[in-house]
Structure 1
Amino acid sequence: MAKDAKPVKPEKGTQMPEQGNSPETLDLETRRRNLQEKLARYQRDKKPDPSEQESGPPKGMAQAIRLSSEFLAGVVVGVILGLGFDQLAGTSPWGLIIFLFLGFSAGVLNILRSVGAVAPSQIGKNGASRQDDGPNKPK
């Protein structure tokens, strides 16, 4: 603005265009409506369907229970086999001790397989082939 220039004032009786009808405001209104529609679609897609939600325990808790039960199963089976071996052979604590350690190691191996640290057992996958497993296998 020049130093001596006076600001332009509308003359009395003339009408200024309203802010709501200017092209810039209409463009902003259109953009705002588009943004609201996109946000509504995003919120609708973001909310999980209540029927799809799991009603069970949290995932970490379920995995912890599964791993602990696999470990305990190995130890319990080892104790039962050890006590049975002691009854049959008459070797009082030694069968229990040996089979307890075997059950403990089987439980640890089960946990490592469940977590994925050890490859699953290959027993039965590459065992003896059946006669109908050949190249002329009927379909």
Structure 2
Amino acid sequence: MAEDGQEDLEERRKRLASELGARRKSQDGESRKAAGSSANDRREMSKGLKLSSEFMAAIFVGFMLGYLLDKFAGTSPWGMIGFLLLGFGAGVLNVLRSVGYVAEPEDRLKKDGK
């Protein structure tokens, strides 16, 4: 009777080992997929940070130019308002160019093609 229990135990051990091996293989495949998606997430995050920083920089430059114009020319709020709007427009245009919704200017393309 003890031998029957040992044979049954060995059979269960073998079945368990094969099931564990199958699960480990599937988990390795999932972890590789997760590592690939993690790298893709990092790439997309860096692209988003680049676009947002370009946008904020354009607005900041417009603000500073307007502030300096107001300070030296005495055109109190109008220089800042005008250049802030120009900076916003330039920021939107830069983001759209980076994403690919707006084509590059033709003059730049002709110079690069020479």
The amino acid across from 2:68 in the alignment is: G
Match of 2:46 among 62, 69, 92: 62
Bigger relative contact order (CA 8 A; separation at least 6):
2
Structure 1: where are the runs of 5+ without partners? 1-42, 128-132, 134-139
Structure 2: where are the runs of 5+ without partners? 1-27
Change (3 A) 1:77 1:123: farther
Q: RMSD of the alignment, in Å? A: 2.9
Q: Which runs of 4+ in 1 moved over 3 A?
A: 122-127
Q: Residue 91 in 1 paired to residue 75 in 2?
A: yes
Change (3 A) 1:87 1:123: farther
Q: Which moved more, 1:87-96 or 1:108-117?
A: 87-96
* Higher helix content, 1 or 2: 2
Which residue in the other structure is 1:110 paired with?
A: 94
Residues matched between the structures, number = 81
CA distance in 2, matches of 1:124, 1:113: 13
Q: Residue 74 in 1 paired to residue 58 in 2?
A: yes
Q: Which moved more, 1:80-89 or 1:63-72?
A: 80-89
1:82: Cα distance to partner?
0.4
The amino acid across from 1:96 in the alignment is: M
The two structures have a TM-score, normalised by structure 1, of 0.49
CA distance in 1, matches of 2:88, 2:45: 22
Which residue in the other structure is 2:15 paired with?
A: none
1:103: Cα distance to partner?
0.0
The two structures have a TM-score, normalised by structure 2, of 0.58
Identity of aligned residues (%): 48
1:122: Cα distance to partner?
3.2
Which residue in the other structure is 1:32 paired with?
A: none
